[in-house]
Amino acid sequence: MATLQKIRDHAGTLVTIIVALALLAFIVGDLFKADGTFGSSRNNVGSIAGTDIPIQYYQAKVDENTEIYKQNTQQNSLESAVYDQIQDQTWEQLIRQYVIEEEYAKAGINVTADELFDMVQGNFVDPQVMQIPIFRDAETGQFDRNLVIQFLKNKDLDPSGQAAASWTAFEKSLVQNKKDQKFLSLVGMGMYATSLQAEKESNDKNTKYDFDYVQLRYSSVADSLVKVTESDLKSYYGNHKKDFEQEESRDIYYVVFPIVASEDDRQNTVKSVEDLKNEFASKDEDAIEQFVNLESEIAFNGKYLAKEDLSEPVAELFDAADNTVVGPYEEGNYVKIARKLASAKVADSVEARHILIRPSAALSEDDAKAKADSILNAIKKGASFAEMAEKFSADGSAQDGGNLGWFTEGQMVKEFNDACFFGKKGDLVVVKTQFGYHVVEIQDQTKPLQKVKLAVIAREISASNKTVDAIYANASRFGSTNSSLSAFRGNADKEGLTLRTANIKRNDRRLSNFDNPRQVIRWAYKADKGDMSEIFELDGQFVIAMVADVHKKGVASFDEVRNDIARRVLIEKKAEYLVSKLNDASAGASTLQAVADKLGEQLKEAKSVSYSSYSVPTVGVEPSLQAAMVTLDEQKISSPIKGNNAVYLIQVKQVEKAENVDLARERELLQRTNMSKAGYQVLSAIEAAADIEDNRSNFY
């Protein structure tokens, strides 16, 4: 059973997926109709490859993965961002289940029972199995197949069933990973690189070009020198519609009304703390911790502080008499009073080791105490602390002889902390904590420093109900008096509000710095252009939003992209103007220098440029130049080349080809690259080609 306990302790290592069978059994009747199909479409979070995904089924999967995450991270609650990630990962798992697995089945990819046996305890044990700590020899650290066999024989003896469930989930992950490897290998081995491809790849990387160039920048042409008509814009739109394909989205305006405390709120907080001062000063020291925890919004901290650790408002307490009280004073967003409780010389850090004897059903409290005392006496008589720790300690440090290393005050529970910091080097004591009885040895301490212990009562300066109501009323007034897009946009600044804009997608989970703005995003996708929202409360702020525009999936309308088109057409017109200017200047010219002189421009040089280079030195990202240089004869002046930022003339001066290139190696590298990318690209293509509809935003 010790091995079963270890497998539970290391469940995270096993990549556990705990299947909520009871929950699924409860809801399965509701998931399916009598004809075997899923339930009503209005209860579906989407569909994958023709299969509807009901909200109940999806949520059950999310809950399973959430429990797995909590177990693996030892957390009881999750931040919203983490929960969002789990939801997205669950959706990806379902896509894999209904799309990728089908492709594996078509390709005949599977993992047999014999293969799984080999991966777990046979001749080809999977590295994931070998990395599990409980399957490694305690002395050598090497993988021991016998430990796997022993665990498999005993896992079903665990009355909780967790050991068996964890292992089943782990085996599923092994099988899935093996299928992935087979598929990626299958696709990758189908990749082939020819000698011609290798030669081209080598030339693209290793052939270097030196060329001169003259450039005329688009920015050098005044907008007034070119004419752009409405017909030009519509013609460009008609010829480039694919450039304007878009996902569904919404443009929104919104304003924020921070919920902040007023001056009255601040003064009332100061008074409430002031009213506690006399009672705080007179409380007996043994009652002060309870009093602080009752009256303060920050819990009592009995840690001793050095002088440099004290903030300015309480620095005077370091040299003051015990029980001196200072305040009220403001620190951050709190009003505080502080009382000096005691002074002592305390080390900054302690090095210690321990042996934990934990009471259990088989070991009573008294017996645990007696066992700890017996171990202490044995150590005092010469027994090895490290050996006793390895033999008897219930703590994870047992394998390291009970060593805890160095730690600072406050890192350990209070009883353990006090024994270590207020004892002296070499002390051997038994300490009782919430975990059991500890045999503790203080191995070393830093030099003790004079420190003080304070009690602090703190109350946050927060907005009262009256203040919150006033801020809400102001937000409501703004919304009711600015119901049009133009008024909403124009009057925000007049009222000292910051108008914010955002383009949001249906499943977005972020809006500015708000932690959870889903209620705003869900509203926006139910609203029409020009609609104003209710007042939302997000992260201590009131928010009012208005839908400024609605962008449907597909090709954007002409009006939506008019400004973008106007910018592009303007560049095209300027390019035509500059092409004509360069043609005139180069007519009859024998050298590029002559063209540059005629234009009054500087002749520039680019050196060692390859076709595969990301950019051109001294120029920037201009792929048109690289395409032109590899097709141009040496010393010949090119035709005008339209680039991203300018129109160019170039003249290749020198071409240097690499010598002694190992084409066989180049071909091998190219084939490896193709193999490494192909499998994942195929998986992405399969997913992209699947009919997937994601409507989770209607529910979350």
What CATH number is associated with residue 430? 3.10.50.40
Q: What is the mean pLDDT of residues 90-119?
A: 87
Q: By C-alpha distance, which of 344, 354, 372 is closest to 416?
A: 354
Q: How many domains, in total, are found in the chain?
A: 5
- 378 and 524 inside one domain: no
- 342 and 360 inside one domain: no
Q: What is the mean pLDDT of residues 111-136?
A: 87
How confident is the model over 497-532, as pLDDT tens digits?
999 999 999 988 888 888 889 999 999 999 999 999
Q: By C-alpha distance, which of 573, 551, 547 is closest to 244?
A: 551
Q: By C-alpha distance, which of 697, 197, 262, 194 is closest to 471?
A: 262
pLDDT at residue 660, rounded to an integer:
80
Residue 27 pLDDT exceeds 80: no
Distance CA 434, CA 445 (A): 24
- Sign of the dihedral defined by the CA atoms of residues 254, 257, 258, 259, in that order: negative
With vertex at residue 409, the alpha carbon angle to CA 405 and CA 410, rounded to the nearest 5 degrees, is: 105
Q: What percent of the chain has pLDDT over 90?
A: 58
Residue 18 pLDDT exceeds 60: no
Q: How many CA atoms lie within 13 A of 334 on its CB side?
A: 13
pLDDT at residue 170, rounded to an integer:
77
- 158 and 15 inside one domain: yes
Which pLDDT band holds residue 20 (cuts at 50, 70, 90)? Answer: very low
- For residues 577 and 226, is the Cβ–Cβ distance under 8 A? yes
CA separation (Å) from 184 to 119, 124, 174, 679?
A: 18, 19, 15, 5
pLDDT at residue 16, rounded to an integer:
31
Distance CA 351, CA 348 (A): 11
- Residue 538's identity, in one-letter code, is L
- 420 and 482 inside one domain: no
Residue 408 pLDDT exceeds 70: yes
- 120 and 159 inside one domain: yes
Q: If residue 678 lies in a helix (H) or strand (E), which one and from where to where?
A: helix 663-689
Q: Which residue has the tokens 């002074």?
A: 343
C-alpha 222, offset from chain centre: 46
Distance CA 421, CA 302 (A): 13
Q: If residue 551 lies in a helix (H) or strand (E), which one and from where to where?
A: strand 541-551
How confident is the model over 279-316, as pLDDT tens digits?
999 999 889 999 999 999 999 988 899 999 899 999 99
Task: For residue 623, say if its preceding peptide bond is cis, omega within 30 degrees of 0.
Answer: no
Q: What percent of the chain has pLDDT over 70?
A: 93
Residue 24 pLDDT exceeds 60: no
Containing structural domain, residue 491:
248-260+464-552
* Residue scoring higher pLDDT (92 or 271): 271
699 located within any domain: no
Distance CA 306, CA 270 (A): 27
Report field, pTM of the whole predicted structure over 0.75 = no
Q: By C-alpha distance, which of 294, 268, 340, 250 is closest to 525?
A: 250
598: β partners: none
Residue 239 pLDDT exceeds 80: yes
Q: By C-alpha distance, which of 577, 535, 35, 574 is closest to 255?
A: 535
- 10 and 123 inside one domain: yes
Decide which of 346, 374, 395 is a domain's last residue. Answer: 346
| Mean pLDDT, the chain, integer | 87
- 506 and 385 inside one domain: no
- 640 and 544 inside one domain: no
Q: What is the mean pLDDT of residues 550-557?
A: 93
399 located within any domain: yes
Residue 5 pLDDT exceeds 70: no
683 located within any domain: no
- Written as one string, the DSSP assignment of 24-69 is HHHHHHHHB-TTS-B--GGGEEEEETTEEEEHHHHHHHHHHHHHHH
Q: By C-alpha distance, which of 66, 140, 53, 138 is closest to 97?
A: 53
Q: What is the mean pLDDT of residues 49-57?
A: 91
Distance CA 56, CA 30 (A): 9
- 59 and 145 inside one domain: yes
Decide which of 446, 472, 505 is a domain's last residue. Answer: 446
Residue 592 pLDDT exceeds 80: yes
- Classified as helix, coil or strand, 81 is helix
Q: By C-alpha distance, which of 138, 137, 458, 440 is closest to 294?
A: 458
Which pLDDT band holds residue 355 (cuts at 50, 70, 90)? Answer: very high
Which pLDDT band holds residue 543 (cuts at 50, 70, 90)? Answer: very high
pLDDT at residue 10, rounded to an integer:
35
- Written as one string, the DSSP assignment of 302-314 is --EE-GGGS-GGG
60 located within any domain: yes
- 534 and 612 inside one domain: no
Here the tokens at position 595 are: 């063209």
674 located within any domain: no
454 located within any domain: no
pLDDT at residue 608, rounded to an integer:
92
Edge-to-edge strands, sheet with 51-54: 51-54, 44-48, 692-694
Q: Where are the alpha helices (DSSP H) in 508-591?
A: 518-524, 562-586
Q: Mean pLDDT lowest for which of 85-89, 189-193, 580-584?
A: 189-193
Residue 133 pLDDT exceeds 80: no
Q: Mean pLDDT lowest for which of 55-64, 126-135, 573-582, 633-642?
A: 126-135
Q: What is the mean pLDDT of residues 438-467?
A: 95
How confident is the model over 358-407, as pLDDT tens digits?
898 888 999 999 999 999 999 999 999 999 999 999 888 888 899 999 99
Which pLDDT band holds residue 41 (cuts at 50, 70, 90)? Answer: low
Quote helix, strand, coil % in the chain, to nearest 5: 50, 20, 30
33 phi and psi angles, rounded to 5 deg: -80, 175
Residue 535 pLDDT exceeds 90: yes
pLDDT at residue 73, rounded to an integer:
66
- For residues 132 and 152, is the Cβ–Cβ distance under 8 A? no
In this structure, the number of other CB atoms found within 10 A of the CB of residue 47 comes to 17
Residue 31 pLDDT exceeds 80: no
Edge-to-edge strands, sheet with 436-445: 403-408, 349-357, 436-445, 428-433
Residue 480 pLDDT exceeds 80: yes
Q: Mean pLDDT lowest for which of 32-41, 51-60, 98-107, 290-299?
A: 32-41
Residue 268 pLDDT exceeds 90: yes
329: β partners: 336
203 located within any domain: no
How confident is the model over 675-691, as pLDDT tens digits?
877 777 887 888 888 88
42 located within any domain: yes
Here the tokens at position 91 are: 């959706």
Which pLDDT band holds residue 260 (cuts at 50, 70, 90)? Answer: very high
- 424 and 471 inside one domain: no
In this structure, the number of other CB atoms found within 10 A of the CB of residue 55 comes to 19
Decide which of 495, 525, 552 is a domain's last residue. Answer: 552
- 548 and 566 inside one domain: no
Distance CA 209, CA 485 (A): 56
Residue 159 pLDDT exceeds 90: no
